Amino acid sequence: MELFQVQVTMTDLLVIAPELALTGFALVILLMSAFARPERRGFLGYTALLGVVAAMVSLYWGIGVEASAFGGMVRIDPLSFFFKAMILLICLLIVLVSLGYAKREGIGFGEYYVLILFAAVGMMLMASGVNLLIIFLGLEVMSISIYILAGIMRDDTRSVEAAFKYFLLGAFASAFLLYGIALIYASTGTLDLAGIGRVLAEQSWISGRPILITGVALLTVGFGFKLALVPFHMWTPDVYEGAPTSITAFMATGVKAAGFAAFVRVFFYALPSLQAHWTQIMWILAVATMTVGNIIALSQSNIKRMLAYSSIAHAGYILVAFVAGNELGISGILFYLLAYVFMNIGAFTVVILLGKKGEENTLIGDYAGIGYHHPLLALAMAVFMFSLAGVPPTAGFMAKFYVFSAAVKADYYWLAVIGVLNSAVAAYYYLRVLIYMYFREPEREQAIGGFSPAAVLAIIISVWGVLQMGILPSAFLALARQSIQFLL
């Protein structure tokens, strides 16, 4: 009998170097938090920051490398490079924000940072996996970490309830995703995305293959849940409201970025031959997601809930680009996600800074008069709100511009019209925050509870990103174009 040998080469390790760096640092933090005295656990956050920077450096090392590793399981190419860089940026901002927030809310244990790093590893595996097995594993590593993170404020019943809801519905959706993978495997005989693409390209017509179609539909349901697309969005507002705010920002940006990375990879890499079929479904999902997200957001009085519905609506805009499916469309997805990272994390950071321990101040009424008491913070919030609403010269405007022009270019005029109407509706609830901040008298005296220099740094990075991408978008768009060139 032949002995089965597993060989790990240098290329293999280089391809997953950022993941290895994050995992290593996460394990070190876990050990340190076990041995450090409770009052000295403040440095755990800085170690996590160091880990993210180390992962960024190791990602930078592999710049320009294009290789598959571990027998074609993971792949580093421009697309996964872009998403890995974005996920590390998200991770960096979230850790920065958490330094002050975790201290204020008494989340003193190292597991908090460890799980953020582990979740980032899962996200990066999703972005670089070219095999459905790895994509599933990455998704689960990410999801399981975030189930715990959502409930990490153990004494807060709302946080635990958020974790509970996210867990039950997340596990339910994972089962759908897995069944989709199983059926695709049963009908094509492989889990490799490129292999699935080859099999489907050879067999031109699919009408006689109900198993495959069911598989793709179930896969869409599973991804739709993670990306919070309507009608799979019911968990989103509850979980986003109950989870700690830093984790809400992480879920709204990181999970979406990783989910869309895998979504793009699966649909444009493995299933391009079915494009005519799945675009119809995506068209409906895009319209439903934009419209429902925006309309329900109108009536929200809690800013975390409002941002939850707004994140649903933004996923809808990204789907518009997905439906368009042309060069501008796919690069628009990447551009939009990056813009969304800056404006969303920025907005959530302001929400964090305006809260205090035990008093989150997340009602929109709590924002009355902030423009006078905390002018700089209010100014930053105004930039983020303008960007989320899509007002020039911010990143949100350019992102929407690219997405809708991609739809027009691909002759989806109605989709573009519905999208533009939706962003007009959305302007109402974003600008309402501004009205409260600048034109209402405060109902009670407010002081900033958790002011931290690291969070201010995160806000500065976000404001820079929003303005840079809004005023000089061409460099970012060129980068996004370069990243998806090989898909076309």
Which residue in the set 32, 182, 408, 425 belongs to the binding site for other proteins (CB under 8 A)?
Answer: 182
- Rounded Cα distance, 189 and 316, in Å: 33
CB atoms within 10 A of CB 447: 9
Is residue 244 close enough to count as binding other proteins by CB under 8 A? no
Does 133 bind other proteins (CB under 8 A)? Our answer is yes
Among 135, 191, 328, 391, binds other proteins (CB under 8 A): 191
194 sits near other proteins (criterion: CB under 8 A): no
Q: Which of 70, 109, 185, 438 binds other proteins (CB under 8 A)?
A: 185
**Binding of other proteins at residue 168 (CB under 8 A)?**
yes
295 lies in the binding site for other proteins (CB under 8 A): no
How far apart CA 306 and CA 241 sit, in angstroms, is: 9
CB-neighbour burial class of residue 363 (10 A; exposed 0-12, middle 13-18, buried 19+): middle
Q: Does 314 interact with other proteins (rule: CB under 8 A)?
A: no
Does 261 engage in binding with other proteins (CB under 8 A)?
Answer: no
CB of 333 to other proteins, least distance (A): 28
Count residues binding other proteins (CB under 8 A): 42
Q: What size, in residues, is the chain?
A: 488
Supply φ then ψ for residue 449, to 5 degrees: -90, -45
| Nearest Cα residue to 472 out of 333, 379, 335 | 335
Under the binding rule (CB under 8 A), the answer on residue 339 touching other proteins is no
Q: By CB under 8 A, is residue 398 in contact with other proteins?
A: no
Q: Is position 274 an interface residue for other proteins (rule: CB under 8 A)?
A: no
Give yes or no for residue 488 binding other proteins (CB under 8 A). Answer: no
Query: Which CB, 117 or 328, lies closer to other proteins?
Result: 117
Q: Which of 147, 232, 263, 283 binds other proteins (CB under 8 A)?
A: 147
Q: Give the shortest CB-156-to-other proteins separation in angstroms.
A: 9
172 touches other proteins by CB under 8 A:
yes
Nearest distance, CB of residue 252 and other proteins, angstroms: 16
Distance of alpha carbon 164 from alpha carbon 156, whole angstroms: 13
Burial readout 33-57 (b: 16 or more C-beta within 10 A, e: otherwise): beeeeeeebeebbebbbbbbebbbe
Q: Is 256 within 8 Å of 240 (Cβ atoms)? A: no
Q: Where are the beta strands (DSSP E) in 7-55?
A: none
- Which one among 70, 179, 401, 438 touches other proteins, defined by CB under 8 A? 179
Task: Kindly list the distances between the CA atom of residue 410 and the CA atoms of 171, 352, 402, 415, 477, in Å, as whole numbers in the listed order.
Answer: 36, 41, 12, 10, 18
Q: Which of 9, 154, 460, 488 binds other proteins (CB under 8 A)?
A: 154
Contacts with 137 (C-beta within 8 Å, 6 or more apart), sequence order: 122, 125, 129
Supply the DSSP string of 130-184, one letter for each residue: -BHHHHHHHHHHHHHHHHHHHT-STT-HHHHHHHHHHHHHHHHHHHHHHHHHHHH
Q: Is 298 in the site for other proteins (CB under 8 A)?
A: no
Residue 203 lies near other proteins (rule: CB under 8 A): no
Least distance from other proteins to the Cβ atom of residue 477, Å: 37
Binding site for other proteins (CB under 8 A): 133, 136-137, 140, 144, 147-148, 151, 154-155, 157-158, 160-165, 167-168, 171-172, 174-175, 178-179, 181-183, 185-186, 189-191, 211, 237-238, 241-242, 296, 300, 305
